[in-house]
Chain A
Amino acid sequence: MKINKKGRVAVKPIVKKNQANVDHVTGDKIPKSFVFSRMKLPGPVRQLQMDLRKLMLPYTALSLKEKKRNTLRDFLNVSGPMGVTHFLMLAKTASALTLKVARTPQGPTLTFKIHQYSLASDIAQSQLRPRCPADLFKTPPLIVLSGFGTQEMHLKLATIMFQNIFPSIDINTVKLSTCQRLVLLNYNKDTKLIDFRHYSIRLQPVGVSRRIRKFVQNHQVPDLRNLQDVSDFVTKAGYGSESEGDEEAATVTLSSDLGRVNRNSTKSAVKLQEIGPRMTMQLVKVEEGLCSGGIIFSEYENVDEKEAEKKQDEDGDDSEEEEEEGEEGSEEDGEDMDEDLED
């Protein structure tokens, strides 16, 4: 700081514009998200919402408080200055549990119906040794989309949506130690269901016995009571299965050290362990706007591609969009009837 002759401290105007919204290494815009619901959720679903928030960490509002009278517009108004780009909305009705994934401020909105779900706590309970390192949620997860590559447009849209929900990775600068978690979305063509899974990534050196690995990791004095010689500790294979069979595909050669055990230029096995939540969901609706606007795709109303194209053509006239959107429901019905007549 410079001090003027008058003794005043010259303070630079603080430029805080969008600093937090941009990755300081790559300069990309960081997507941020809100996970909320606009109704009172039953216990397990509220827990699911909390799990989803944890999943979206670190660029999400972990302790976002909603009130009953909060409308979508309230969240939208807050999202602008906060740089929030995505909304995840849970809704529970007597018949179904839905998850809406929307891009702010102007859509589109994907509506998923959640058929089945398991909470993170359920999954931790089902595991013998649930894993949760301290810095697990300090970095954004990777996302793997699988099976979406069919020609259907709504799936493509879903792909884009989910690719952009987490910050992108610059392969030249990324540190592998920040890749701690993984979100997997697997589309099943036959059932039209999407499997949503959340895993933690762990790297383990290959070809080292379990004992030595543990010894290096834990820094504890090993139990040598039953051994004749120290060399036995190294040479004797530990009991228990070391499933090396299918690991050929799951090994990577690191170019830099990662942790204490995974050294440079050694082979490491990639191990995934599930950390919830787990969801099985189905894409039922795609809307143009944020929870409003024309319906691009609907699972139940059977909006065919042809119709979609027709609609696009009509929209192409571009005279009075608002009114068209408002009337679209009735228009669709009319179209359906027309087709029936033609058939």
Chain B
Amino acid sequence: MSTGEGGHMAVADRGTRKRRVGAKNGGKSKSKKFKTTPSSSDRFKVTTKNKKLFQKRARDYNSDDDEEDEPKKAPEVTNFEKIFTDANMGPNYDVIEDEEGSDQDDHSDGEDHGEIESGITRFSTDDGCNAFKTAFRAIMKKTKGDDTLGPVLSAHKHLIGQKLAEEEAEKKAKGQARKAKHVVAEKGHVKPASYLDSHEKILIGVATKGVVKLFNAVNKAQHAQKGLNASRSKDAKVLKKRRKEAFFSELGKSKTDYKAQKSSNSHEDEAPPAWAPLRDNYMLANPKLKDWDKKQETGEGDDFAALSGDESYED
């Protein structure tokens, strides 16, 4: 920990001196720390005795490994610095040399400790590590407690709990409302089955019957006019005549014949002719629908299948 702070200090110091080499060896904070001590020696003298005391204190505070890192790396750094500063830094040169000197002093100190390892943090049985260990254990031992929040580092635990519970309840209520709305919106909406059930088959049958009826009627009617072009006046006359004949022959049929024919094919049944005039102008001309059920005729089959086309043909 303290090494890091020292590093910061070192950086700050260098900043004042406009020396930017520190950026290069940011990782090697150990060496920097030791560099700072001599730089501060401008203000007050550090005797070797004092220095050793400080170092001991620092050693006690830190774990072993941190200190052991330092001696191996320091020389590299200094070499590098040397090259670097030789190349670039004219004015600061002497200062760096000073620092180098101090660094080398430190090396000798650091090498006293012996063990050298780099890059691995290890929990040993030393004091500093113990503190961390115990703290960590204490944290890990802590049970979450019965509150649903989990560990919250706040003084207002209850408040937060309440707020979260409220939010959850709100969300739930909203979700339910949305669900209800969706149910209402989807009411009556049915996804059809991928197969045709019997009811659908019946319906298709009915529809097919209607289409066949219409198509046959169309073919029958248009077969007669084959070869005649309605746009030619001569043919148009012939067509007119034929249609007229067909119309009158239809009219000439007695009512009973018509009914008998109808009942013979029980499925088809037309609206009675009395209704025909109603169809076009009835609802427009007679908006109040007066007597709308009086003109109807009786005697119809049960089933009723009508195509609008058929009717116009019959008319």
Contact = CB atoms under 8 A, between A and B. Distances in A.
Real binding pair: yes
Given A44-B189, A145-B306, A172-B243, A255 B210 contact: no
Interface string B206-241: 111111101111110111011000100000000100
A168 B184 contact: no
Contact of B215 (A147, A156, A270, A315): A270
A4 B223 CA distance: 50
A312 interface: yes
B311 A252 contact: no
Q: Which one of B185, B207, B280, B291 has the greatest number of beta carbons of chain A within 10 Å?
A: B207
B293 interface: yes
Interface stretch (B26-34, B86-94, B136-144, B297-305): B297-305
Interface string A115-138: 111110011011110000000000
Contact of B214 (A42, A128, A142): A142
Tell me the dominant secondary structure on chain A's binding face.
mixed
A176 B212 CA distance: 11
Interface string A186-198: 1000000001010
B271 interface: yes
B9 interface: no
B190 A117 contact: yes
Given A144-B305, A164-B279, A176-B218, A255 B287 contact: no
A289 B286 CA distance: 11
Interface stretch (A65-73, A103-111, A206-214): A103-111
A171 B313 contact: yes
B222 A256 contact: yes
B-side interface size class: 35 or more
A92 B306 CA distance: 31
A149 B211 contact: no
Contacts, number: 203
A50 interface: no
B188 A145 contact: no
B185 A201 contact: no
A163 B308 contact: yes
A144 B307 contact: yes
B253 interface: no
B210 A252 contact: no
Is chain B's binding surface mostly helix, strand, loop or mixed?
Answer: helix
A252 B186 CA distance: 41
Nearest to A167: B308
Interface in B270-315: 271, 275, 278-280, 282-284, 287-293, 296, 298, 300-313
Interface stretch (B37-45, B97-105, B168-176, B191-199): B191-199
Contacts of A251: 212
Contact of A118 (B191, B204, B218, B230): B191
B311 A146 contact: no
Given A145-B304, A169-B308, A115 B219 contact: no
Smallest CB-CB A-B distances: 6 pairs: A149-B304, A42-B185, A169-B309, A106-B287, A144-B210, A171-B313
8 contacts: A44-B186, A116-B189, A149-B269, A163-B279, A168-B311, A172-B313, A176-B218, A312-B293
Given A116-B188, A255-B219, 16 more contacts: A42-B181, A103-B284, A116-B189, A118-B190, A122-B190, A142-B214, A147-B303, A149-B300, A149-B301, A153-B296, A159-B304, A160-B271, A163-B308, A172-B243, A256-B222, A321-B288
Interface of B: 181, 184-194, 199-200, 203-204, 206-212, 214-219, 221-223, 225-226, 230, 239, 243, 269, 271, 275, 278-280, 282-284, 287-293, 296, 298, 300-313
Interface of A: 29, 42-45, 92, 94, 97, 103, 106-108, 114-119, 122-123, 125-128, 142-151, 153, 156-157, 159-160, 163-164, 166, 168-174, 176, 179, 182, 184, 186, 195, 197, 199, 201, 249-256, 270, 272, 274, 278, 288-289, 296, 308, 312, 315-316, 321
